A and B are shown apart, each in its own frame.
Chain A
Amino acid sequence: MSAAPERVHDPALDRLRSAWTERRGLGTAVDEVQRRALDVALARGLPSARDEAWKYTSLRRFGSRSFALPAAGPTLIAADFEAGLLPASGWHRIVFVDGRYEASLSTPFPVARGVTIRSLAEVAADDPDRLASRLGVSATDHTPFFAALNASFVEDGLVIELGPHGEVAEPLYVVHVATTRERATMSHCRVLIDAAEQSRAIVVEHHIGRAAGENFTNVVTEVRLGAGAKLEHYRLQDEPSRSFHFARLDAALDGDASLVAHRIGLGAALDRTDIDVRLEGAGAEVALHGLFVVDGTRHLDTHTRVDHLAPYTCSDEDYRGLATDRGRGVFNGKAIVHPGAQHIEAHQSSRNLLLSSSAEIDTKPEFEIYADDVKCSHGATTGQLDPAALFYLRSRAIPEDEARALLTHAFAATVIARMSLGPVREYLDRALLTRLRGVDGGPT
């Protein structure tokens, strides 16, 4: 027998290649760049344990599955998923079903001075060349696999353009619903947020689906914030327990712009989220907050990277994780302070609670600092519930399982408290208390 070839032939890539030819597409003007993106994705291949960034997250199970493109035609009515939504009223609701915008399930796009909101398919029809050049950014040799795959398959999404001082008063509530049909379905939705100077918005992306679904979600959100623009972004991943969820948030910030990004992971069998933030202008600041729960055999991986490219920039990361049963959480946070980026602050904290002896957390902060006037701190902890606190609560007549749930919730409460939207906090409080009641006793 001859030696094994350099890259083993991967049937998963064959399946993606043939699915691509059947996709709906965004029109001939965009076809060329989508083909290029596909070539990039296929050339890269599925990340494996040999990739440093995928050391703790295996795609073996994901790679063995096949996923169909979403079938045509309306598939859902509001009653199918309404119970899973945030208890929010007055928000602009924008619903995507398997990655496709569904106007009939959405409220009309808000109309305000300096604010333009369209579906990506609409932009492809109105201005295909601009969209093609925008997607081209995700079809280079440096583009990671899932981002390139998204660029090659994307057929719809949301484009939010805020002009100078533009403002959407109420949150934009983007609901991504994954359905289950005869076959597991894949969706490659893309959300583009271009916010000019001094504009502001709150965008909530909420991922839900039907209980039995073994879907593949591959979402990319790109954010560009002009000088002094402010965006608060939430990604609330609460997909069915067999879903594969891949998400990316790429953001570039001009001077004095501010981004707060909350990453909340409650569901899916596998969740890999990448967050890349470039602080390009002086005074730009980003806060990355996260909360995740891994129970059952869930696996959740968060990779963040913040590039401090200008002086007086700030980054503050605070991620908290709860792992129980055989759940596994991975956190890797990288902050890079580039030469000349003086007077910067970069703080990072990753705190985790292990609630069972077979749960696992891998957490790794990384700093690369090439400037000398910087304030940096990082801390990573993984521990168990405090037995003294547990005894104290029980001595006050609180039953043991409830005391555990209270303490676990308390651990998450500090991150939840930082979320400005009441309905998100309410949703999380409820989700945590129901999920955590009766978790097992942990290592003894």
Chain B
Amino acid sequence: MLSIKNLKVRAGERLILTGLDLEVGAGEVHAIMGPNGSGKSTLAQVLAGREGLVVEAGTVRYLDRDLLELAPEERARDGVFLAFQYPVEIPGVNNAYLLKAALNAVRKSRGEAELDAFEFLALIRGKMKLMQMEESFLNRGVNEGFSGGEKKRNEILQMAVLEPRLAILDETDSGLDIDALRVVASGVNGLRKPDRAIVLVTHYQRLLDYIEPDHVHVLSGGRIVKSGDASLARELEKRGYDWLREEVNAA
């Protein structure tokens, strides 16, 4: 589904991704772990199409298309979803309005009929219940005045509504207490499907106690230095990242 080869990405003067390779197949859950500054968020953002990141080399294929050629909104319409590490507050843009506009844009590109206000409300009510969100959220500005946990839940709600093919979660666990983490994790687990891939970008192993990944990758110095199964995450939790750096340096 997603095939990244030798990706080099610069932000300003700095080369952040230095030759990253990653293969993600349909139905798989991948965890990208790594110390701060290793390039995890840059990877997430370049996949969503953030401006200001310059691709120096490499290719990203998504469903047999050149992902890097597409504008952010085209990627979203084609099923790419990024759950932001820091969801943006947008006062004056109604949460429900954004959700409905986003959903109808996605549905249109999937060749499905747009939902009217009633159909939309019926759909959204069910999803909000799963995320344990009150309906009053709908009529507030996008993320306006939301707590950290509410913002993350709102991201997962959007994901549940948009039903992406490729979901990238950028540090979705950071700043969550254990109850919120459970809600978010069950939201994500509910979205696991054979035709959907999920990439979890995280610093800590904690989230992976609730969402069992199929593959775990360690990102360091802008590329993936080690890959394994779920047991790798537990090893990292025990031993930290330093042993890996030494291993890489020795190699």
Contact = CB atoms under 8 A, between A and B. Distances in A.
A412 B91 CA distance: 11
A403 B72 CA distance: 12
Contact of A396 (B51, B141, B158): B158
A12 B106 CA distance: 59
B88 A394 contact: no
B76 interface: yes
Contacts of A409: 92
Interface stretch (B2-10, B33-41, B97-105): B97-105
Contacts of A386: 88
Given A388-B88, A398-B101, A407 B93 contact: yes
Nearest to B107: A397
Nearest to B73: A394
B93 A397 contact: no
A393 B87 CA distance: 11
Most B CB contacts (10 A, CB to CB) among A391, A399, A411 go to A391
A393 B51 CA distance: 13
A397 B71 CA distance: 10
B92 A397 contact: no
Nearest to B83: A395
Nearest to B72: A394
Contacts of B11: none
A387 interface: yes
Given A397-B102, A398-B105, A392 B90 contact: yes
B49 A396 contact: no
B16 interface: no
Contact of A397 (B84, B88, B106, B141): B106
A131 interface: no
Contact of A387 (B51, B77, B106): B51
Please indicate which of the listed interface residues A388, A396, A397 has the most CB atoms of chain B within 10 Å of its own CB. Answer: A397
| Interface size of B as a range | 20 to 34
Contact of B76 (A388, A395, A410, A413): A395
Contacts of A414: 91-92
A397 B163 CA distance: 12
A387 B73 CA distance: 14
Contact of B77 (A397, A403, A412, A413): A397
Contacts of B96: none
Interface in B36-71: 48-51, 71
B91 to A, nearest CB: 7
Which of A389, A391, A396, A398 has the most C-beta atoms of chain B within 10 angstroms of its own C-beta? Answer: A396
Contact of A391 (B72, B91, B92): B72
B88 A392 contact: yes
B50 A398 contact: no
A398 B73 contact: yes
A397 B162 contact: yes
Contacts of B82: 395
Contacts of A410: 90-93, 141
Given A391-B88, A397-B77, A399-B105, 13 more contacts: A387-B51, A391-B72, A392-B87, A393-B90, A393-B98, A396-B98, A397-B105, A397-B109, A397-B162, A399-B73, A406-B93, A413-B92, A414-B91
Interface of A: 386-389, 391-400, 402-403, 406-407, 409-414
30 contacts: A388-B88, A391-B48, A391-B51, A391-B72, A392-B87, A392-B142, A394-B72, A394-B73, A394-B76, A395-B76, A395-B82, A395-B84, A396-B76, A396-B98, A396-B102, A396-B158, A397-B76, A397-B101, A397-B105, A397-B106, A398-B102, A399-B105, A402-B101, A406-B93, A407-B90, A407-B93, A409-B92, A410-B92, A413-B92, A414-B92
